């Protein structure tokens, strides 16, 4: 199984002792992955994924386009 690092992500400090996995896409957009609280790149319960537009008029990765949360402990019953 490939890791986030294997897929081209790197850890970036986001301020206030917080961190996230970040990858810049060929389109200039960014994918940012962190724990559900948005403060740690180490996660075990849930993850928060944000997609940013990469606009240079904003700090960090630009404006957030979309985000969603995945609960890693939720059991799905089909």
Task: Give a yes or no: residue 77 inside a domain.
Answer: no
- Which domain, by its residues, includes 49? 10-71
> Any idea which of 42-46, 57-61, 73-77 has the lowest mean pLDDT?
73-77
Averaged pLDDT, 28-53: 85
Task: Give a yes or no: residue 47 inside a domain.
Answer: yes
Task: Give a yes or no: residue 1 inside a domain.
Answer: no
Task: Give a yes or no: residue 38 inside a domain.
Answer: yes
Task: Give a yes or no: residue 2 inside a domain.
Answer: no
Distance in angstroms (rounded) separating the CA atoms of residues 66 and 30? 11
| Total tally of structural domains belonging to the chain | 1
Task: Give a yes or no: residue 20 inside a domain.
Answer: yes
Mean pLDDT of the chain: 84
pLDDT of residue 76: 57
Q: What pTM value is reported for the model?
A: 0.80
Read out DSSP for 16-43? TTEEEEEEE-TTS-EEEEEETTSS-S--
């Amino acid at each position: 199984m490939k890791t986030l690092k294997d897929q081209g992500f790197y850890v970036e400090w986001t301020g206030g002792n917080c961190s996230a996995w970040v990858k810049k896409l060929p389109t200039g957009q960014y994918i940012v992955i962190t724990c559900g609280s948005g403060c740690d790149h180490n996660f075990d319960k849930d993850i928060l994924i944000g997609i940013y537009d990469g606009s240079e008029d904003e700090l960090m990765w630009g404006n957030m386009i979309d985000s969603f949360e995945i609960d890693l402990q939720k059991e799905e019953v089909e």
